[in-house]
Structure 1
């Protein structure tokens, strides 16, 4: 039988300290009664002897030190689950906010999840098509992968997230269903409305589960939001055999909430004031992606984070890069030149794409053309640096071809409309048309048999661009 404790020792920010607690556990949920009638929920985040530190989800305003009642509930935070959760919109802790009533659960799962035995993992293969050439062609998203997007303040990562949700689909027609779990953390009201309106108007809301944590919601809810989203993804993937794409935006807001709570608990800060356990905390989220043996479903993650001051060495993108399998980087210079999506190709990569593309997955020429586009565009940067010194008119004819290729690559391949959904074959064909600007002998990353089949010479391509 759980006891109810009356009175508090201390209140600090969103935390309250309860004295004389026995038989309680870490992460256990508590029910808080304020002024005899109002009910709030919290969770135990620290235990020391008979003292428990409780995080209050709705904040500690109007909470009294003398007559507040705290009752441990005997379990950690759980979220109700059933397949009818598809098409629903929830707040940061999994409460419905779409006016369609409560979920009638088949099961309730702990939002913290359970560790996946590495031996039980299946190696990710096959891909998810986003319809965006710079992603599908050069940083292909593989099922079961975690592939973050590194953005910056003012860059169109919200529009890119909406486009991915709207266009993402399985690479091949299969009997397995596909759905998206979308979690927004610390967003403004207009951004939240933009997400909801975009999904409704495009008709994809019925295959999306949305979690919205607003900027003025309690900070502690922001810590729970991605865990609720990933718990729903695990249920749909491993119990309902669905392929799930999880989009988490913005992980920077999540990490800043973690820093704020850590500071209020009096923990010793690490780099940039973030807690020393930031790496392990992020890993507890990112590692919930993947595939399991003997299960049909998969969880693929696209965390989106805004780099403070566009600094890719900041702790958040730095630690994220260690945990995840690549990154897609958005560039402010491209954005200012009107390129959408402003994906800067050279620092972007997908470490698992080599095992999910090519013959049997996309097309036999995909690995070769991706390598060649990377190599040729890298040489473009060298030629541009040279041209900035000696002038473009002094370049050799070959270097001028590279300059022309670079302009066409950014204008034709990287740039596309916000509602443009390019099939994989169109992306690869466009890559070959662009490589036709360069002489055949410059394409040293492509097998001669593939060149014979797909390469068209410069003279026949130039008029098409």
Structure 2
């Protein structure tokens, strides 16, 4: 342990210290003020003559007379299966009034990159109970599928719904996943106290807390702490998945607050900014987090990520959603117009995408008609959306009977398929049945994306007649 009293500058969340020998990058530091208060930090930049330290608890109260101790180790997360059911702050300390954590081991929060050769390809279905996700943009184990939202939209409600409803369907007999359990790791960064109370009330009311580990970094906590909160959460998730065999769903909200913390640190270091003032290395930093999702050959568990970000100004070309989209395997897009119409959850399925969906659905994983139904629903809704624009120009009376049928379908799709509320948990079979009910208002010849054998098995014969009667 090396100790110095050579602080030369304090800038925002950073403390600069003169040193006479090299200090390791990422090394943990304790800074003790004359009044005895101790704060933790991490070496952000190191040279032969000085180091820059980011202080997790903020630099308030630290002066040039403070003592700086370099502990000779990197930041580690104490992990144990007993973390399930616990609530921790953004630095990993318990805040639920429970006992101290007695770790089975301590793991480096930076993690270890998964060897690409050792990765298991993600192709097993996770049921969220949300039709817009399960039916149209299916989540699979080991995937990273972000939610792109905006200020004022109910992304937290959707996150809570997924957290309490997500489950791994029972495996086929003899499957090697039999007996694997499901867990949720929830990492909140920069949320308000009101949001935190809502999260905790919901976790406790629904019993989801028993299978969850919650990390809470609030809006009035130091911004720099947000840079370690997701790493603590992911380290916990990796331990539960790869050491204990859990299928872990990691929900991180809000990644925009995380990126703002990166920008604050970059400004304090006087770095040359990139797009819109964000650090040029933000892509690499985000990739270090998102790429910690996955499966490993020979291990039963998996880490699946649902990062949530609010797009500044509803702009999906903003650097945060733009870079996230490059790294992750799709996105769930929330829509302000649907939200104003009262659709819950307001998920717009047209710009949403799950690149791994085709590998996670079908016979043995979900019903054999899943892919065809999803394709047909997407095509029909897209055509209905295009016709809505045309109606604004020429009026509905100028459209053909076929066009009016697609307009009716678009309305029904939003009202019956997407709009399910936040307390409704639908199985994938229920979701597909609703899809068939909606598609059966079309004549069979319009269902050109579905195999004829599936049409014969699932087509609802009287739905078209009922639709015609309702129109009359």
Give the TM-score of the pair, scaled to structure 2.
0.96
Paired residue for 2:85? 87
Decide whether the 8 Å contact of 1:27 with 1:76 is kept in 2.
yes
Paired residue for 1:306? 310
* Runs of 4+ residues over 4 Å off in structure 1: none
> How far 1:49 sits from its partner (Å)?
2.0
> How far 1:460 sits from its partner (Å)?
4.5
> How far 1:7 sits from its partner (Å)?
2.9
Paired residue for 1:97? 95
Alignment deviations for residues 339-388 of structure 1 (CA, whole Å, 9 cap, x no partner): 01000111001000100101010000000000110111111122212211
Paired residue for 1:278? 282
CA distance in 2, matches of 1:246, 1:102: 23
Paired residue for 1:459? 464
Paired residue for 2:60? 61
Per mean C-alpha deviation after superposition, the further-off stretch among 44-53 and 238-247 is: 44-53
CA distance in 2, matches of 1:101, 1:29: 25
CA distance in 2, matches of 1:126, 1:116: 19
CA distance in 1, matches of 2:470, 2:78: 55
Q: How many residues align?
A: 463
Q: For 2:362, what is the secondary structure of its paired residue?
A: coil
Paired residue for 1:139? 137
> How far 1:14 sits from its partner (Å)?
1.2
Alignment deviations for residues 313-347 of structure 1 (CA, whole Å, 9 cap, x no partner): 11000000000000000000000011010001110
Q: How does 1:246-395 map to 2 (within 5 A)?
A: 246-395=250-399
CA distance in 2, matches of 1:233, 1:250: 18
Q: How does 1:130-209 map to 2 (within 5 A)?
A: 130-172=128-170, 174-209=178-213
Per mean C-alpha deviation after superposition, the further-off stretch among 240-249 and 35-44 is: 35-44
CA distance in 2, matches of 1:317, 1:60: 30
Q: For 2:350, what is the secondary structure of its paired residue?
A: coil
Q: For 1:54, what is the secondary structure of its paired residue?
A: strand
Decide whether the 8 Å contact of 1:180 with 1:207 is kept in 2.
yes
CA distance in 1, matches of 2:397, 2:415: 22
Decide whether the 8 Å contact of 1:436 with 1:461 is kept in 2.
no
Q: For 1:347, what is the secondary structure of its paired residue?
A: strand
The reply on whether 1:445 has 2:449 as its aligned counterpart is: yes
Paired residue for 2:36? 37
What value does the CA root-mean-square deviation take over the aligned residues?
1.2
Paired residue for 1:413? 417
CA distance in 1, matches of 2:437, 2:470: 8
CA distance in 2, matches of 1:106, 1:321: 36
Decide whether the 8 Å contact of 1:433 with 1:461 is kept in 2.
no
> How far 1:464 sits from its partner (Å)?
9.8
Alignment deviations for residues 128-182 of structure 1 (CA, whole Å, 9 cap, x no partner): 1111100000000001000000000000001111111111111225300100000
Alignment deviations for residues 413-461 of structure 1 (CA, whole Å, 9 cap, x no partner): 0001211001110100000000011121111111111111111244345
Paired residue for 2:174? none
Give the TM-score of the pair, scaled to structure 1.
0.98
Alignment deviations for residues 172-208 of structure 1 (CA, whole Å, 9 cap, x no partner): 2530010000001000000001101100011110101
Decide whether the 8 Å contact of 1:5 with 1:21 is kept in 2.
no
Q: For 1:169, what is the secondary structure of its paired residue?
A: coil
Paired residue for 2:105? 107
Decide whether the 8 Å contact of 1:26 with 1:47 is kept in 2.
yes
Per mean C-alpha deviation after superposition, the further-off stretch among 296-305 and 15-24 is: 15-24
Assess, with a 3 A threshold, how the Cα gap between structure 1 residues 83 and 446 changes in structure 2: closer, same or farther. same
CA distance in 2, matches of 1:156, 1:464: 34
Q: For 1:9, what is the secondary structure of its paired residue?
A: strand
The reply on whether 1:4 has 2:9 as its aligned counterpart is: no
Decide whether the 8 Å contact of 2:443 with 2:464 is kept in 1.
no
Decide whether the 8 Å contact of 2:183 with 2:246 is kept in 1.
yes
Assess, with a 3 A threshold, how the Cα gap between structure 1 residues 141 and 406 changes in structure 2: closer, same or farther. same
CA distance in 2, matches of 1:286, 1:171: 24
